[in-house]
Amino acid sequence: MTDRKERVLSSRHAYRGRAVHLRVDRVAKPNGKETTREVVEHVNCVVIMPVDSKGNILLVRQYRHAVDKDLLELPAGSIDPGETPEEAATRELREETGFKPKRLEGLGGFYAAPGYCTEYLHFFRATQLERSPLTAEDTDEIEVVPVSPADVPGLVASGQICDAKTIAGFRIASL
């Protein structure tokens, strides 16, 4: 296979925010042409598919400012410094649903938007849930919504589930 790696000629941060940084790289492509790459730097994250004792999947409904609406999603969140993906998955699940898994199964992962973003999402299935709430910033308005797996295709088709990480997570879990 031909080497497709681009060589970074210069790099600068155009913006540094709380959740994301925007880096602008000037690169030389393997064919010698130069171009600009804008890269959103974001920490890696976890996505969790919690399955309750009845076989329902616990989704969360929460407001997303960027799209100005409530979305129905799998619980997810950032991996804090020093945390393993497994530790982050357990913490996020406790914060967003109030449940802690006795069993956490890693099912792989994926890049959110590799054309412009560094974020990698680790995907887990959580089972044998026990009540164990953990309070966190920005989770007080989250609504937990148990959903039958049989209802998921209809929720996606109707647009009620329209979050890419959630749709990708359901696909991974079905493999």
In the chain, the amino acid numbered 61 is R
pLDDT at residue 79 tops 90: yes
Is 141 part of the annotated catalytic residue set?
yes
Q: Quote the CA–CA distance of 46 and 43 in Å, as a whole number.
A: 10
**72-86, 128-142, 147-161: range with lowest mean pLDDT:** 128-142
Report residue 106's pLDDT band, with 50, 70 and 90 as the boundaries: very high
Residue 152 confidence (pLDDT): 96
Which of 6, 34, 105, 141 is an active site residue?
141
Residue 129 confidence (pLDDT): 98
pLDDT at residue 1 tops 80: no
Is-contact 37 25, C-beta < 8 A? Answer: yes
pLDDT at residue 174 tops 90: no
- Residues 14 and 73 reside in one and the same domain: no
- Residues 99 and 35 reside in one and the same domain: no
- Residues 31 and 54 reside in one and the same domain: no
- Residues 23 and 91 reside in one and the same domain: no
- Residues 13 and 49 reside in one and the same domain: no
- Residues 71 and 14 reside in one and the same domain: no
Tell me, yes or no, whether 1 lies in a domain. Answer: no
- Residues 106 and 158 reside in one and the same domain: yes
State the total domains in the chain: 2
pLDDT at residue 135 tops 90: no
As a whole number, the mean pLDDT across the chain is: 95
- The CATH number covering residue 119 comes to 3.90.79.10
Report residue 4's pLDDT band, with 50, 70 and 90 as the boundaries: confident
Q: How many CA within 13 A on the CB side of residue 155?
A: 21
User: What global pTM score does this model have?
Assistant: 0.93
Q: Quote the CA–CA distance of 142 and 53 in Å, as a whole number.
A: 21
- Residues 80 and 142 reside in one and the same domain: yes
pLDDT at residue 3 tops 80: no
- Residues 119 and 84 reside in one and the same domain: yes
- Its domain, for residue 135, covers 45-174
Which tens digits make up the pLDDT trace of 19-77? 999 999 999 999 999 999 999 999 999 999 999 999 999 999 999 999 999 999 999 99
pLDDT at residue 143 tops 70: yes
- Residues 33 and 50 reside in one and the same domain: no
Tell me, yes or no, whether 130 lies in a domain. Answer: yes
Backbone angles phi, psi at 55, to 5 degrees: 90, 5
pLDDT at residue 2 tops 70: no
Residue 140 confidence (pLDDT): 75
- Residues 14 and 62 reside in one and the same domain: no
Tell me, yes or no, whether 33 lies in a domain. Answer: yes
Question: How many helices and strands (H and E) does the chain possess?
Answer: 3, 10
Q: 106: Cβ–Cβ under 8 A, 6 or more apart, which residues? A: 85, 86, 122, 123, 124
pLDDT at residue 82 tops 70: yes
- Residues 119 and 60 reside in one and the same domain: yes
